[in-house]
């Protein structure tokens, strides 16, 4: 048995202090008469355990280096560590949507960390709630 302190820390933090975030995942959409229609919710507003925090300058620098033409802004990105499997956006899917503190974030990148059996995701702001404090 391999003990992973990082996975244990995320589980422990999530058990005492939920993120307050919700996860929404849609079924695949399709084109109808040339107009894209989103799929129906597969997972709708499921509470997301784990931790969410602001992206660091170092982490942001790595992402910008990997995707220089993506028009990224540091203040629009967060990092999420969760035991829940997440789906990132790609050419074939919009990816999961996380609602956190009134704003909607799309999963930009995700990496499964096997040593702790958790997922580390980069969230990108999709829709801001201008009334959120």
pLDDT tens digit string along 11-50? Answer: 555 554 567 888 988 877 778 898 877 777 777 667 888 8
pLDDT surpassing 60 at residue 6: no
Q: Alpha-carbon torsion 49, 55, 59, 65, what sign?
A: positive
Q: Does 132 map to a domain?
A: no
Radius of gyration of the chain measured on its C-alpha atoms: 16
Whether 23 is in a domain gets the answer yes
Q: What is the mean pLDDT of residues 64-90?
A: 75
Ranges of H-type helices in the chain: 5-16, 57-66
Instruction: Report d(CA 108, CA 92) in Å as an integer.
Output: 13
- Return the CATH number at 77: 2.40.10
Q: Is residue 133 part of a domain?
A: no
Of the given ranges (27-31, 53-57, 64-68, 86-90), which has the lowest mean pLDDT?
64-68
Is 50 part of a structural domain of the chain? yes
Domain contains 55? yes
pTM, rounded to two decimals: 0.71
Token pair recorded at residue 74: 């540091």
Q: Range of 98's domain?
A: 5-127
What's the confidence (pLDDT) of residue 98?
Answer: 92
């Amino acid at each position: 048995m391999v003990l992973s302190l990082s996975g244990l820390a995320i589980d422990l933090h999530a058990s005492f202090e939920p993120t307050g975030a919700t996860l929404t995942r849609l079924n695949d959409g399709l084109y109808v008469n040339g107009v894209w229609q989103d799929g129906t919710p597969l997972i709708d507003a499921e509470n997301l355990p784990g931790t969410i925090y602001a992206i660091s300058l170092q982490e942001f620098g790595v992402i910008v280096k990997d995707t220089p033409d993506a028009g990224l802004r540091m203040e629009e990105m967060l990092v999420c560590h969760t035991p829940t499997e997440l789906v990132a956006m790609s050419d074939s899917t919009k990816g999961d949507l996380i609602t956190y503190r009134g704003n909607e974030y799309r999963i930009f990148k995700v990496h499964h960390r096997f040593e702790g059996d958790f997922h580390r995701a980069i969230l990108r702001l999709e829709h801001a709630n201008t009334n959120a404090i």
